[in-house]
Amino acid sequence: MMSLSGKNILLGITGGIAAYKCPDLVRHLKKAGAQVRVVLTESASHFVAPMTLQAVSGNAVSKELFDPTAELSMSHIELAKWADLVLIAPATANIIAKMANGIADDLLSTICLATPAKIVIAPAMNQQMYKAAATQQNLATLESRNTLVLGPDEGFQACGDIGPGRMVEPTTIVENINNYFLANSELAGTTITVTAGPTIEELDPVRYISNYSSGKMGFAIAKAAAEMGATVNLISGPVNLTTPNNVNRINVKSAKQMYDEALVLAEKSAIFISCAAVADYRAETIAKNKIKKTDDSNELVIKLVKNPDIVASIAGLKEHRPFVVGFAAETNDVKTYALKKLTTKNLDLICANDVSDHNIGFNSDQNALTLYWQNGEQTLPLSSKQQLAKQLLQAVITRYKASHDEKKN
């Protein structure tokens, strides 16, 4: 599975002839879904044009440590914090030596010291420089500090020598980065099932009862979970949204269909997140033909019957019960109602949002949530649903692990 979707990669390019491969490297990283920002050293700019890198990465290229314009858009500290991974390719003997010794005398070497992110380097240099005791010692120092060293490859070199020192190919670099994220993803090996969107309950062949749920929050959760390495099932009511990468989407219409799919998948999942706005009632019978307007009465009575409560049914499973997360969209007394649902539906965690504020909730791109669980709560302030989904999953992981530990003791 190749996906760098949602990952911020800072590519540092230093002055080696292999820098000519960097536009291609950026293209591969972008194709895998990553956001890429490029930092060039002074000597790298002699090998590859900043304009080319700006065009392929879609972002301004940074070069100087003391560039007021660049610092305004993103300072060196912000760049260092922005990165989920710093990749230096090609990495010359010089940058390797600087990193091993903690020297910060230009933008890239400063970022290397300032970043909390994983650092990956793809050394490229003359074979003799690579074999030099100083370089070998510096590489060993970096590896002992958890820097991932890719390559170098052996073969013909630009200088005419033959030996180790060629930069590994861009596709190999991207593959290794992908593997790194996979191996370190918090939810690797965990299956999560998410329900999203509204359900629609048919009245006749042309009419139905539904609600305004857009599905955005559930889709954001599914996307974030997949980016964190989970195997994700997304059971979705009818919505107008694209399926996130690496998410197994199951389309349903009615609550009954959602219930059937959810029950099968929840038993195979470690975590079940019920984000769908499920219709509480459906028509007792769906008329075979279009219901006609009558002249003799001003009323039409349609008998509704209760739909199964999906999340409560899953939380009530005696065997293979996943960790169950519900949502409570409320217009008043949010905390009281949320806590009541937490208990009556036997949930492990409930996410409450106040839908009386029209800037958040149902159709908006933003949301704010308060999470409640037995004896605890956490507020996730107003932010994009994408950002919120990540924070929510972090909280879910913490609670999920805690509940496992509690069961063990």
Annotated binding site for CTP: 280, 290, 308-311, 327, 341, 345
Q: Toward ligand C5P, which CB reaches closer, 90 or 326? A: 326
168/310 with CB nearer ligand C5P: 310
Q: By CB under 6 A, what part of segment 332-371 binds ligand C5P?
A: 341
Of 10 and 355, which CB lies nearer to ligand C5P in the complex structure? 355
Return the range that interacts with ligand C5P (CB under 6 A); candidates 177-185, 238-246, 320-328, 379-387: 320-328
Nearer to ligand C5P (CB atom), residue 173 or residue 276: 276
Size of interface with ligand C5P, in residues (CB under 6 A): 14
Q: Which of 193, 307, 367, 386 binds ligand C5P (CB under 6 A)?
A: 307
Active site residue 22: no
Q: Does 255 bind ligand C5P (CB under 6 A)?
A: yes
22-30, 182-190, 321-329, 365-373 -> range binding ligand C5P (CB under 6 A): 321-329
For residues 193 and 307, which CB has a smaller minimum distance to ligand C5P in the complex?
307
Q: Does 327 bind ligand C5P (CB under 6 A)?
A: yes
Q: Does residue 310 touch ligand C5P according to CB under 6 A?
A: yes
Using an 8 Å Cβ cutoff, are 87 and 12 in contact? yes
* Residue whose C-alpha is closest to residue 370's, from 400, 402, 404, 330: 330
Question: To which residue do tokens 């999906």 refer?
Answer: 310
The contact pattern for ligand C5P, residues 191-210, with x = CB under 6 A and - = no contact, is ----x---------------
Q: Is the dihedral of CA 107, 108, 109, 111 positive or negative?
A: positive
CB-based contacts of 318, cutoff 8 Å, min separation 6: none
Residues 106, 309, 348, 354: which binds ligand C5P (CB under 6 A)?
Answer: 309
Residues that bind ligand C5P (CB under 6 A): 195, 255, 274, 276, 278, 280, 307, 309-311, 326-328, 341
**Residues labelled as active-site residues:** 159
